[in-house]
Structure formats: C-alpha cells, structure tokens
Amino acid sequence: MQPEENLNLEEQRIRQAFRDRDWNEIKSADSWVIFKVMAEFVMGFDKLARIGPCVSIFGSARTKPDNPYYQMAEEIAAKLVRHGYGVITGGGPGIMEAGNKGAFEQGGKSVGLNIHLPFEQYNNVYIDADKLINFDYFFVRKVMFVKYAQGFVVMPGGMGTLDELFEAITLIQTQKIGRFPIVLVGKAFWSGLFDWIEEVVLNTEHNINPEDLKLVNIVDTPTDAVKVIDNFYSKYLLQPNF
C-alpha cells in the first residue's frame, strides 16, 4: 500500500471517507466547516439583499468570445439592463464573462458569484467591485443564484450549467421558490434533452407531470429571451426595480 503522502488528492479523499475518526476530530473538523458555511451565507445575504431585481445567466466557462452563444449572452445581458434588470452570473470566464460584460457596458448592475476551482474558474473583469463574491461551497453559491434572481437565462453549457438549470426547475416544481421564468437559449442545443424528458421521463416512465414541461421556454434569439421575462412580469403588472 502506498504511503498517503504519495497518493493524489482524489485518492486521499476516497481513503479519508473510510477512515474512522474519533469524536474530537469529528467535532473540530465539522465545526470549522459549519462556521465557514455560515460566513459564506452571511456574506452573500449581506451583499445581495440590496441589489434589486436581477436575472441569473448560466452557461459554460469554456465558451470563447468568437462563439455566437457568447455574443448572444452579451446581448441578452445588455437588453436586460436596458429593461431595468441587473445581471447575476457565476463570475468566471465564457458565458459568465459575456453576461457580466453586457451588463457592465450598459451601466447596469453586474454581479459575479465566483467559485474557487482547481481549473477554469477565475473572476472576469466586468463585475462591479462591490458585487463580486467568492465561494468555496457550490451549494451556498446556488442558494444565492436562486434566492436573488427574478428569472433565469440558461445558455449552452456543461455539467455545472445542467446542475444549475435543474436546481432552478426543481425548486420551482416543488414550490420552494416562485414560478420565475426559465429561458433556455439555443434550440439546437436544448431540444434533444427536452425531447427525451418528454418521451421517456414523462410519457414512458411518468416521473413528472405534463405541467412541468411548461416551466421552461426554449428560444433562439436574445430578443425572444428577454421577451419571455418581460411578458411574465407584465402579467402581474410588475415592473423591474420595484
């Protein structure tokens, strides 16, 4: 068996899960984590409680500026700001950078909820200085995404984007948050996934209700994306920045 110092980080984590710990070790380690989590919640609540109506934009960190989806995300964010909303992103590169850039260059509120990762993630330069928050815990960050957003725009992305999308859908489906609009941009990217959900998850396995499919809107243009959000709030006679 290899000495623990020669193991890579992933192997160390797996072995740690099977190692017995005494009570003092458990108490000291877990108590410290609790305080770190509390600190992140307090910091997030304090900064975000004052930002006003915002829309969260999700999408891949790997999308380059010459990609059409980057340019669409930038345009969507700019339109949202002109319609009275601020923009919340994950604070990193790619689609997140595009969202912050569109908001920042229009003089709107540009919020970045950055996460510390061993690769890919660094905060972009288009976040308002007083609205950049760095997180260690994904679950705390996801709470901030949904607690302070009045809508969600989801661009093409990977596992993290899918996680954020289905978190929002689940919270709305279970009535843990209001039925805020969810807009998926890019029919070519999203249609196959939701065709499968309809055919297999709904019609074959009956694991969801037909109404659940109505929680998302799939569009192809920035204009249509913003229109979904505007139309939703016009039904309630609400205006941004109320």
Q: What is the DSSP letter of 126?
A: T
Separation of alpha carbons 146 and 129, rounded Å: 21
HEC letters along 11-65: HHHHHHHCCCCCHHHHHHHHHHHHHHHHHHHHHHHHHHCCCCCEEEEECCCCCCC
pLDDT at 16: 66
Mean pLDDT of 82-102: 96
**Inter-residue contact 67 to 157 (CB < 8 Å):** no
Lowest mean pLDDT among 4-13, 113-122, 161-170, 173-182: 4-13
Asked if pLDDT for residue 233 goes beyond 60, the answer is yes
Asked if pLDDT for residue 107 goes beyond 80, the answer is yes
Mean pLDDT of 101-113: 97
**Contacts for 86 with CB less than 8 Å, ≥ 6 apart:** 51, 52, 53, 54, 55, 80, 103, 108, 109, 110, 111
Separation of alpha carbons 230 and 219, rounded Å: 14
Compute, in degrees rounded to 10, the torsion defined by CA atoms 237, 77, 144, 166: 90
pTM listed for this prediction: 0.85
Separation of alpha carbons 122 and 115, rounded Å: 8
pLDDT digits (tens, 9 = 90+) for 173-230: 999 998 999 999 999 999 999 999 999 999 999 999 999 999 999 999 999 999 999 9
Confidence of residue 242 (pLDDT cuts 50, 70, 90): very low
pLDDT at 1: 44
Q: Is the CA virtual torsion 142, 60, 151, 90 positive or negative?
A: positive
pLDDT digits (tens, 9 = 90+) for 145-166: 999 999 999 999 999 999 999 9
Asked if pLDDT for residue 238 goes beyond 70, the answer is no
CATH class of the domain at 38-235: alpha beta
Strands 86-89 and 110-115: parallel
Residue with tokens 């995404």: 145
Asked if pLDDT for residue 8 goes beyond 80, the answer is no
pLDDT at 234: 84
Q: Which carries the bigger pLDDT value, residue 16 or residue 123?
A: 123
Q: Helix, strand, or coil here: 94?
A: coil
Asked if pLDDT for residue 21 goes beyond 70, the answer is no
Average pLDDT, the chain: 89
